[in-house]
Amino acid sequence: MRSSSAWLRAAVAAALAAGVGLGGAAVAHAETPGVVIAVERADGFRGMGETQIIDYWTRGVGGVAQPASGAVFVPEGQAPAGGWPIVAWDHGTTGLASGCGGMSNAGGTAWPVTQDEFLRRAVSKGFAVVAPDYLGLGRFDTGPHPYLGIDTEATATIDLLRAARSVRSDLSPVWVAAGMSQGGQAALGTGHRQASYAPELDFRGTIAIDPESDVEKVAQVLVPGNPDRLGGGILGFSASILAGMRASRPDAQVDSFLSPLGRQVVDEIGTMCQDDIDARVAGLTLGQLLAKPLGEEPMRSAMADYMTVPTSGYDAPILLLVNATDETVPSPLHASLAAQFTAGGVNYTPVVGFGRHCDLNPAMWSEIDTFLNRVYPR
């Protein structure tokens, strides 16, 4: 659903006039990150029980407040003393356009079964789940999603958590971040950012499943005319990075790195979900889309700032679940991330499987349960 700016202004104005948010939460200032815009009951959404869809303000591109959306799923029954502990869930790649996120609506790219399985498992074990669409992917058309932009992924996640807790008094300040693929990268960014962005909350750790990492380093060797075809949806992901950066990082001068065909493709995919993006780039090569190497400045520095996963400075443990046979985020990238964590003194536990991208085998599920029990003993 695309929400007009006129509707948004009217909704916020009405809420301020009444002195409350549309979901009943007190609103101090319009457009403050973490403030609720609207709340909608949606029990049964994604096969879950008690569910609310929340529209809220987040710290968006360039630090400017922008509207976003997401969902909160709550266990049945009475909350424990102190409230339900929270898993902030960051989803994998779904595209670039409003309506693609999958957390506030069921549209867009087909949702991997493992993601719903994770949500159901967390709720069944007594965790509330807070799940953002990310900026630009939900109920608001704010332009192309800044795909793999780690800053706005983190703020979208934390601001939804704040918004959910302002709506529901039965949510604890105790929380962990979790996600897979793009969401694994987002969860790591969230886990790193929370200490400075949300010090009032009680953060306990991060679960990252086959996270994207180090792609900005690989991009430095990509040049015009490279004939290699990228399988596994990787060309679609690569084009999405360029589209997201063009929308959010003017300093990168993205158009100057694109061929005429590249500019046409990036123009078109900004209004698509992932299945349509993959179809649009089918049969193309990344070399056809480029006019000059991505390793040149200012792209090189801007891309590193935009999407690099931090590899030191975490203040809570990390569970890193990776598949050695992953073809979407190839295993050398997983190995590089683990090595950088070790070098950076990060408190992390690696668990290796041999499935496809984001598969979770029984041993991995067991490690997730152990991690949650360890960081939140009950």
Q: Which of 142, 147, 176 is nearest to 57 (CA)?
A: 142
Residue 235 backbone zone (phi > 0: left; psi -120 to 50: alpha; other: beta): alpha
Could you name the CATH architecture of 215-306? Orthogonal Bundle (1.10)
Structural tokens at position 284? 């193309």
Quote the pLDDT of residue 318.
98
Domain 5-213+309-375: CATH superfamily, name plus number: Alpha/Beta hydrolase fold, catalytic domain (3.40.50.1820)
Indicate the residue type of 336: S
Exposed, middle or buried by CB within 10 Å (0-12, 13-18, 19+), for 150?
buried
Quote the pLDDT of residue 288.
93
Residue with token string 């983190």: 154
Calpha distance 245→83 (Å, rounded): 39
3-state secondary structure 141-204: CCCCCCCCCHHHHHHHHHHHHHHHHHHCCCEEEEEEEEEECHHHHHHHHHHHHHHHHCCCCEEE
C-alpha dihedral (73, 60, 183, 70), degrees to nearest 10:
20
- Residue 87: helix, strand or coil by DSSP? strand
Each residue's pLDDT expressed in tens, for the chain with a length of 378 residues: 334 333 443 444 344 333 333 333 333 457 899 999 999 999 888 888 899 999 999 999 999 999 999 999 999 999 999 999 999 999 999 999 999 998 887 666 666 778 889 999 999 999 999 999 999 999 999 999 999 999 999 999 999 999 999 999 999 999 999 999 999 999 999 999 999 999 999 999 999 999 999 999 988 888 887 666 555 578 999 999 999 999 999 999 999 999 999 999 999 999 999 999 999 999 999 889 999 999 999 999 999 999 999 999 999 999 999 999 999 999 999 999 999 999 999 999 999 999 999 999 999 999 999 999 999 887
pTM, entire model: 0.91
Exposed, middle or buried by CB within 10 Å (0-12, 13-18, 19+), for 2?
exposed
DSSP 75: -
Calpha distance 357→238 (Å, rounded): 17
Q: What is the CA radius of gyration of the chain?
A: 20
Element (H, E) at 121: helix 113-124
Residue with token string 């006129």: 6
Structural domain boundaries in the chain: 5-213+309-375, 215-306
Q: What are the b/e assignments for 105-135, b being 16+ CB within 10 Å?
A: beebbeebebbeebbbbbbeeebbbbbbbbb
Exposed, middle or buried by CB within 10 Å (0-12, 13-18, 19+), for 78?
exposed
Calpha distance 293→150 (Å, rounded): 23
Residue with token string 């400017």: 64
- Residue 136: helix, strand or coil by DSSP? coil
Calpha distance 192→306 (Å, rounded): 15
